Amino acid sequence: MILRRVAPGPADELDTEAAGARARLLEWYRPLAADSVRINLVTTLDGRVAGDDGTSNSLTAGADRMILGVIREAADVVLVGAQSVRAEGYRLPKRAQLAIVTATGDLGGAAIQPRDGAAPVLVLTSAAGARAAHRALGGVDHVVVPLPERAGRVAVADALAALRDRGAAGIVCEGGPSLAAQVLATGSVDELCLTTVPRWGGAGIRVPAVDDVPASRWKPRQLLIDDDGVLYARWVPRAG
């Protein structure tokens, strides 16, 4: 698979099968700062984040998995919502620590695949949610990080602050769309990594995180395209 970098110039190419390709891609996706907050999502042309199977897995194409891996490698924590974990399951990242935000602790049916040497799963939840999370995760190694409950919910800003307090510098949010929108609303996002596959999603789930962001507030930092026409964009906030 060939990745073509069309911006910033000059144009460049990367063969993802070549020796040293991953190291070069890591350089292309180096975060702006060690303590950055990123959002990483895949969407269709009409802004859907899930295919007919109800998950993002059916949208993943081209070099997306490789790019997902290098973004994770540059992070300390992969932040996800409970609904995404229930719907899609999660393989524990190789390096980064998985953190799940949930107000209720409802992780029933979540298929978390273990990995040798992986850090315990962090569950960011309320006191009531902690009890439910302990029951649901069973034998999965995990640590509950208590958050204050506000009108039956937990605030994403509190979750991010709790991760910072635990020493997490680089944080990447992988959704779902509701969590991504809430993270964006905190005003703390340094970069939006958006993969767009060249197809229509139809009745799939639309991503409010993208729908609700004024285009004038963001500018492209990097644009890549692969042989299948999949676009990989890094967006950053405009100054001011």
Tell me the mean pLDDT in the region 75-99: 92
Given a cut of 70, whether residue 196 has pLDDT beyond it is yes
Where residue 61 falls among pLDDT bands split at 50, 70, 90?
low
- Cβ-proximal residues to 135 (8 Å cutoff; 6+ apart), any chain: none
Place of tokens 């809430």: 182
Given a cut of 90, whether residue 220 has pLDDT beyond it is yes
Where residue 216 falls among pLDDT bands split at 50, 70, 90?
confident
| Domain parsing of the chain, residue ranges | 31-75+171-240, 82-169
Which H or E run includes 6?
Answer: strand 2-7
Pair of tokens at residue 175: 């959704």
Question: Which of 137-151, 186-200, 204-218 shows the lowest mean pLDDT across its residues?
Answer: 204-218
pLDDT of residue 91: 87
Spatial separation of the C-alpha atoms in residues 232 and 222, rounded to whole Å? 8
Given a cut of 60, whether residue 209 has pLDDT beyond it is no
Q: What is the mean pLDDT of the chain?
A: 88
- What are the Cα distances from residue 174, in Å, to 62, 100, 195, 196, 227? 18, 11, 12, 15, 24
Q: 44-53 pLDDT, tens per residue? A: 887 777 666 6
pLDDT of residue 124: 97
Spatial separation of the C-alpha atoms in residues 144 and 71, rounded to whole Å? 25
Tell me the mean pLDDT in the region 63-70: 92
Tell me the mean pLDDT in the region 224-233: 94
Please state which of the four CATH numbers 3.40.50.410, 3.10.105.10, 3.40.430.10, 3.20.20.450 is assigned to the domain occupying 31-75+171-240.
3.40.430.10
pLDDT of residue 240: 63
Spatial separation of the C-alpha atoms in residues 51 and 55, rounded to whole Å? 6
Spatial separation of the C-alpha atoms in residues 147 and 82, rounded to whole Å? 15
pLDDT of residue 207: 56
Spatial separation of the C-alpha atoms in residues 70 and 25, rounded to whole Å? 7
Q: 115-162 pLDDT, tens per residue? A: 899 999 999 999 989 999 998 888 889 999 999 988 778 999 999 999
